[in-house]
Structure 1
Amino acid sequence: MRGWRAVLAVMWVGLAACDGTKVTDMPSQEEPVERADFNAKAAEALCERYARCGLIDDQERCREQQLSYGLINQVGLGSRYDEALEAGRIQYDAARAGQCVQALRDGSCDEAPVSLPMQNRGIEYDSRCRILWGQVADGAACQWSTECREGAYCDATVSSCGGVCRRGTPQPPVTPFDACPHDTVLIAAQCLEPGGEGAPCGTENGRPAGVCGQGLWCDAHGLTRGTCKPVSTEGQACDDYEGPWCGWSLFCREGRCQKPKAKGGACTAPGTGRFGTLECRDELFCDGDEGQPGTCRPRLAVGASCRNAYECGDGMNCLGAKPRDGVRGTCEPAPREGESCTEQLCAPGLACSSTTHTCVTIVRLGEPCEDDDACYFVGRCVDGTCKPVGAQSCH
């Protein structure tokens, strides 16, 4: 799938009362979503958006992907808060969950549905998806900032076994791994809020000058400071290297932003751009020799002749292919969990363990693991749980 975007399709207001419970100023216009249903509803909403924006045709296939190895699997409501939810240290907000799902469904086709805070830390760190509310008082023990009441953070670091909730916002250098407020990302020991049009971005004097929000790109070149500018829309000028960049649901070809092609559409093989954008819709591939004109066709089944893995169906590799030498391969299932990955890439949602050389399921920080390579994004397996790099054993 393409990049990530989110847009505020609905407005809501919520305040945390002094006892940690919520006060809602406006009634929700969306259907509440219970905790057990959240990931499935979020996946359904995201796939409806993909279809509306012309990225896919098969929504059922999309939902399966999202829940097994896609964005919702990576950033949705995982298992790391289960104990805190059961103990009452965190409360789940079904009404806000409904608003979050609606925002995922109704957002702009120019903006990635998943924001930088969602991508880096989880869907619950974007205020548009504020579905978890901390109940732990200031000064009391915590593992995550989501356990702390509004306006406080957990000061746990990678060298401590937990922390306490502290009032306020941490100042740079930020050492607690989960201390940044909602709608921000932790970069180079700073809590950065993705900026709007005209905001600084890139690097200045070796430090991050800022990052851009959805629907924007950074015009900085190399290790320099730049500004955030709107992405190009369909038909506008683009350049995948120098910019401007196309909106989330478009691809850049011949200097202009275009919509993905449907079955039978003309494309240029292999049909993949610098940022993973596809000329053909997701369940299709560009059938043609590399760099040559091709046609968008359905992805290939097991046993079919292929030039590369892009041409094969979900969870397959193109075994034996040597594209540079013009040698074709065969579409075959990629290794599954526990299978050897010494000679092949693992199936989506899995990583190849550098110790056992078998495929392991990728999980988020705070979730059970048996291998360092199983930890999504950044982390290592400590005491059977994915923790930030540098975390120590708490036995």
Structure 2
Amino acid sequence: MALVLGLAACGGDVAKEALGTEVVKALCARAERCGQYAQAEACEQDFRQRGWEERLGLGGRHDDALQAGRLRYDEEAANRCVEALRETSCARILPTAIAFEWGIENTPECRVLIPQDTGGTCLSQVECGADRYCNYDARQNTASCEGTCFPRGGTGDIMPHPAFCESGLVPSLDTSQCMRPIEKDGLCTRTLDGSPYFMPCAEGLWCDAKGSRRCQPLGEEGQACAGLEEAPCRPFLTCKDGTCRSLAKQGASCWAPDHTSALPSRECQHELFCDAASLTLGTCKPRRSERGLCRDSLDCAGGLYCADARPEAGVSGICMTLAGVGDACGPSLPRTCAHGLACSRDYGTGTCQRVVREGDRCQLIMRDATCEAGTSCQSGRCTRHAPDFCR
């Protein structure tokens, strides 16, 4: 009953064009529930400015297959997808790498495109359904991505890509054989030809490579921890003073991250920042608005970056707006392109351009957009150069 009421409150079935928007809303409702953000609205604003609505939507990459009857969009499956993302446990990492790289329609929770009878041929992975994959041989066909649907790999099978193993299986990092993830207390390291390899642990576990060499549970709130490499906490928690804790709320004390680090830690909820010099005690405060003082870009609100800061010398910068479509960019300019844009130098001076992902529509000459890295505009679509496998 709660699920039905939830769907009714959302306005019924999820249309294809609205999938990316609804996915972001669901992920942000979860982020608020799990304590990453105090308000889902702040999360939605961040995710939109990072381009997640477009990245996690369907775009136009399957339009030809839908029009030709090779695929069918299932609005009820889209409802289930959105509800699953909203209600998923805080212990899981979402979205997955497959959702970003191949499209959310390739993930178990969000199989919203239903393959129709194509005689066993395929032009993308989703055309083969959940139990098969699209086997494409680049040596035989570099003009298109046409392949044949084959059963996914079972235990012990060697597959050309991790996504081609059966559900519940993952590839080993040494032999690429499909295998079940290592369970709690199972050995997760081994040596092959003198080189160490890490074996994949089951969800919710990590490989204690420097200690027991066994898969151990990620730390829950209140349990002991020692950082990412020693004894990490589960998602949405942070390791503070040797204990896994929820992210701190506005006004709470916090230890500021190393402002010179490429991967700074965060103790505050994500619409906040820790107002203090590197590795000193501070207070969680709302992120700075445009032209506010900053030590690094985590201090600035979404859509802004920290310009001219030199934290190693104790020099603050100023929060400035990221460059938009058509704005100048390049190594000699301090301003960087906004999330979801790329600095293209195809036509003289570098400008920030919208990134068109693989499979989406394009034109040979695009002044305000560019195909994503590794692809080019061929036959009206951004197409990967001689791909090793179909997506």
- TM-score, structure 1 as length reference: 0.77
Matched, 1:231 2:224: no
After superposition, the Cα gap between the structure-2 partners of 1:217 and 1:183, relative to the gap in structure 1 and judged at 3 Å, is same
Q: Is the 8 A contact 1:33 1:98 kept in 2?
A: yes
Matched, 1:148 2:137: no
CA distance in 1 between counterparts of 2:262 and 2:190 reads 21
2:94 is paired with a residue of what secondary structure?
A: coil
2:244 is paired with a residue of what secondary structure?
A: strand
* Residue in 2 that maps onto 1:174: 160
Matched, 1:306 2:294: yes
Per-residue CA distance 1:125-170 (angstroms, 9 max, x = gap): 2222221111143343x31021235644322345522223334236
After superposition, the Cα gap between the structure-2 partners of 1:244 and 1:322, relative to the gap in structure 1 and judged at 3 Å, is same
- Give the deviation of 1:200 after TM superposition: 6.5
* Residue in 1 that maps onto 2:318: 330
Matched residues, percent identical?
32
Question: Given the alignment, which residue of 195, 201, 204 partners 1:215?
Answer: 204
CA distance in 2 between counterparts of 1:293 and 1:265 reads 11
Structure 1 regions of 5+ residues with no counterpart? 1-9, 11-26
Matched, 1:77 2:58: yes
CA distance in 2 between counterparts of 1:276 and 1:78 reads 33
CA distance in 2 between counterparts of 1:72 and 1:208 reads 36
Q: Is the 8 A contact 2:272 2:286 kept in 1?
A: yes
CA distance in 2 between counterparts of 1:129 and 1:304 reads 40
Deviates more, 1:185-194 or 1:329-338: 185-194
Taking the TM superposition and a 5 Å limit, the aligned residue runs for 1:241-390 are 241-270=228-257, 277-342=265-330, 343=333, 344-353=335-344, 357-368=350-361, 379-383=374-378, 385-388=381-384, 390=386
CA distance in 2 between counterparts of 1:368 and 1:203 reads 46
Count, aligned residues? 362
Q: Is the 8 A contact 1:334 1:347 kept in 2?
A: yes
Report the RMSD for the aligned CA atoms in angstroms.
3.8
* Residue in 2 that maps onto 1:13: none
- Give the deviation of 1:246 after TM superposition: 0.9
One-letter code of the match for 2:238?
A: F
Q: Is the 8 A contact 1:28 1:95 kept in 2?
A: no
- Give the deviation of 1:225 after TM superposition: 11
- Give the deviation of 1:276 after TM superposition: 5.8
CA distance in 2 between counterparts of 1:293 and 1:358 reads 40
Per-residue CA distance 1:87-112 (angstroms, 9 max, x = gap): 21111222222111111111222222
- Give the deviation of 1:323 after TM superposition: 0.9
Structure 2 regions of 5+ residues with no counterpart? none
Per-residue CA distance 1:4-55 (angstroms, 9 max, x = gap): xxxxxx9xxxxxxxxxxxxxxxx99966433233222222111111111111
After superposition, the Cα gap between the structure-2 partners of 1:335 and 1:311, relative to the gap in structure 1 and judged at 3 Å, is same
- Give the deviation of 1:266 after TM superposition: 0.6
CA distance in 2 between counterparts of 1:354 and 1:197 reads 49
- Give the deviation of 1:389 after TM superposition: 5.7
- Give the deviation of 1:72 after TM superposition: 4.8
CA distance in 2 between counterparts of 1:125 and 1:285 reads 35
Q: Is the 8 A contact 2:293 2:318 kept in 1?
A: yes
CA distance in 1 between counterparts of 2:201 and 2:5 reads 29
Q: Is the 8 A contact 1:268 1:291 kept in 2?
A: yes
Q: Is the 8 A contact 1:96 1:129 kept in 2?
A: yes
CA distance in 2 between counterparts of 1:276 and 1:138 reads 51
CA distance in 1 between counterparts of 2:59 and 2:172 reads 23
CA distance in 2 between counterparts of 1:289 and 1:146 reads 49
- TM-score, structure 2 as length reference: 0.78
CA distance in 2 between counterparts of 1:182 and 1:80 reads 24
1:324 is paired with a residue of what secondary structure?
A: helix
1:264 is paired with a residue of what secondary structure?
A: coil
* Residue in 2 that maps onto 1:54: 35
